[in-house]
Amino acid sequence: MNILITGASKGIGNAIANELRSIGEIYVTGRDENALIACKANGFCVCDLSKDVSRLVEFIEKNHIDVLINNAGEYLYHNIENITVEELQRIYQTNLLAPTYLISKAVPYMKSKKWGRIINIGSISGVMGEAYASLYSASKAGLLGLSKALALELAEYKITVNTINPGWVETELGKSSIDESEFSQEEILENIPQKRFVQPIEIAKLCKYLISDDAKGITGQGINLCAGLSVGI
């Protein structure tokens, strides 16, 4: 089993890489070469998904990736009228367009094996919507639609496609998201039913389950791992 995790240099992606090391060959990609080296994976590719992904496409085809975890993402907290074209292109390219293109390049090998796993890391913001994070919410909502459509398209090849939608996660990105917002950490925690942030290892273990044969009947699903945030307050 050859597993590629995007955005694996830190946070959720790094936790996933460490957790899945026991079940397959781990390949990682991200922008920080030193951090990727520290992952001690079977191979890595330095790549910025908001720019050129041609090197990563070659990497996918060369290493016969049959488990693709689209984890890399960018967050932007901004009112809609002040968004620039550059911001729009960067967010959509990183969060939706690049994952879609990477899937298209990984699928041929999965089809030849008649087995594969595609896991997209979305966000609870893509399920519920988040004021002042419209580009982020829309791009993550796009992953849900993509997963549903591809689950149907690829089902006969025993390829499953699912989206995990984390809520607030205790990572550098999560902390920076709080800093960019108008709310304090205490105010955010007060609105989470479990009064806690999700830990990266929780997402990693869910990925491990979705890859397993026990989860072969789960496809086209958006799974909310959000400490109850999607239910209400």
* Residues that are catalytic: 136
What are the distances in angstroms from CA 7 to CA 18, 73, 83, 97, 129?
A: 13, 7, 24, 15, 23
